[in-house]
């Protein structure tokens, strides 16, 4: 593995770590989607197209936006998806919720859970910030123990804001009790990281747990980390 570069001069220590759920505390969304589609005997391309048509009808490109604030119930949204699938492909999911199938067999990223526990032991505030569908709430809570892992949980359907909007990050910083520059968003979606950066946050675009854990340590203790690496290179 290529050694991480030392933190940039003047890097501000992170005091609050806000982590995403799907794709960070779980395998990549693409993996979960492929598993779901195989179970339902439908191609990823066809389902993706149908969801895209429904998403566009709400005037957005974000596929989760209609159901995680929500603008519409999940049952209604699935009915709209099925209407497109039936009209264009002669098939349908026939579901009233995705929750059971979406979370069936979904694995927890224990490496990242361990990194978050370590951050809390080091004195950092650790929170969950997620664009979450209301009917999925009980399911994700069975994968991780929020009381044990998080100081706070911020879910879009509960607060009426969602990533990457500025109000979501403003509320998160307020709940953590620190200035935005001391907040870190860990997210697998670049758009969410961009939104956090625009709100004055530090960001970590998540592509793997081991690399993210190393970077998190550096951001929690930038001065110490930089000194340690300088000594190792001497």
pLDDT tens digits along 123-164: 999 999 999 999 999 999 999 999 999 999 999 999 999 999
For 37-86, what is each residue's pLDDT tens digit? Answer: 999 999 999 999 999 999 999 999 999 999 998 999 999 999 999 999 99
8 A C-beta contact, residue 17 and residue 126:
yes
* Separation in Å, CA 58 to CA 54, 65, 72, 77, 111: 7, 9, 10, 11, 37
**Cα dihedral 64, 70, 74, 76 sign:** negative
Give the C-alpha separation, 163 to 182, whole Å: 18
pLDDT in tens, 167-210: 999 999 999 999 999 999 999 999 999 999 999 999 999 999 99
């Amino acid at each position: 593995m290529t050694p991480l570069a030392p933190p940039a001069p003047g890097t501000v220590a992170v005091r609050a770590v806000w982590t995403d759920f799907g794709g960070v505390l779980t395998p990549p969304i693409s993996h979960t989607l492929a598993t779901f589609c195989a179970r339902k005997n439908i191609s990823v391309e066809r389902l993706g197209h149908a969801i895209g048509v429904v998403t566009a009808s709400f005037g957005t490109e974000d596929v989760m936006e209609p159901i995680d604030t929500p603008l519409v119930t999940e049952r209604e949204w699935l009915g709209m998806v099925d209407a497109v699938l039936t009209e264009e492909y002669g098939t349908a999911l026939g579901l009233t919720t995705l929750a059971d199938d979406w979370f069936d067999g979904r694995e927890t990223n224990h490496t990242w859970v361990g990194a978050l526990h370590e951050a809390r032991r080091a004195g950092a505030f650790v929170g969950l910030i997620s664009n979450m569908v209301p009917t999925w709430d009980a399911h994700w809570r069975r994968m991780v123990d929020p009381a044990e892992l998080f100081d706070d949980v911020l879910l879009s359907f509960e607060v009426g804001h969602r990533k990457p909007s500025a109000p979501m990050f403003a509320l998160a910083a307020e709940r953590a009790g620190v200035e935005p520059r001391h907040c870190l968003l860990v997210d697998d979606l670049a758009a969410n990281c961009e939104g956090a950066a625009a709100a004055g946050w530090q960001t970590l675009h998540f592509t793997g747990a081991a690399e993210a854990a190393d970077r998190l340590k550096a951001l929690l203790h930038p001065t110490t980390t930089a000194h340690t690496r300088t000594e190792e290179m001497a």
